[in-house]
Amino acid sequence: MTLALVTLALGFTVKWIPQLQNAELKLDQVISQHHLAGLDTIALIIQTLLSPPGILIILSITFLFLLLVTRSPVNAIAVVSVAGIGWLSSEAFKIVVAQPRPTQALLQNSLIPNDGTGSFPSGHTTFAVAFAIACCFLARQTRWSRLTLTGGILFVVVVGLSRLYIGAHYPSDIIGSVLVAATTTSLVTVLWNKHALSAMTRTPFLNRFGPLPEP
């Protein structure tokens, strides 16, 4: 709850203090003046891959891989729940804060149209953080834990910078995304440990795909 309040305080502070918003817009303007064709392509690919349809495809592939290939229904449901709910929570904060996106007409290189949706936080970055956290949970206490953590941090940084580069968000939106994902994934993890695991033991159908925890 405290982290959620801190996140909202950040969003409203930037929204209600014009000097802060203008400073962030100036940074976006500086970035928009130094575009490169290769970076444009990467940013637009990320824009497409982490759009809502792209995220649904990523979550579906992840779920099916963990369920059918690794034969782990617990991991399949846990990873998709943490990443998916973490991502969707960004929409609630967008509605509450209702921060407009940077005005594309004020940017030198506008790569995407301003769709009018909320700017705070970045949905793309929130998903990146939530998915990285979910993968780190999955890899903990394995030999892949350090590599997963490093890859997750790199993934988040690249996605966050791409959102600034493309002119879709302010820097505070990226920071807010990290806070939102951390808040939601923490809550989902607590609920999962308290209720979801025990509920899965009462679902015999899942035994067809892999072992379930003991009641």
* pLDDT tens digits along 115-159: 666 899 999 999 999 999 999 999 988 899 999 999 999 999 999
Per 3-state DSSP, the chain is made up of helix, strand and coil in percentages (nearest 5) of 75, 0, 25
Mean pLDDT value across the chain: 89
* 49 is a domain residue: yes
Tell me the DSSP string of 34-80: S--HHHHHHHHHHHHHTSHHHHHHHHHHHHHIIIIIS--HHHHHHHH
* 127 is a domain residue: yes
The residue that leads in pLDDT, 65 or 105, is 65
Overall number of domains in the chain? 1
* 68 is a domain residue: yes
Predicted confidence (pLDDT) per residue in 183-210, tens digit? 999 888 888 777 766 666 666 665 666 5
* 204 is a domain residue: yes
Residue range(s) defining the domain that contains residue 117 = 37-208
* 27 is a domain residue: no
The pLDDT score that the predictor gives to residue 105 is 82
* 44 is a domain residue: yes
Q: How confident is the model at residue 8 (pLDDT cuts 50, 70, 90)?
A: very high
The structure's pTM equals 0.92
* 13 is a domain residue: no
Q: How confident is the model at residue 171 (pLDDT cuts 50, 70, 90)?
A: very high
Question: What share of the chain in percent tops pLDDT 70?
Answer: 89
* 113 is a domain residue: yes
Does 162 score more than 80 pLDDT? yes
Q: How far apart are CA 151 and CA 154, in angstroms?
A: 5
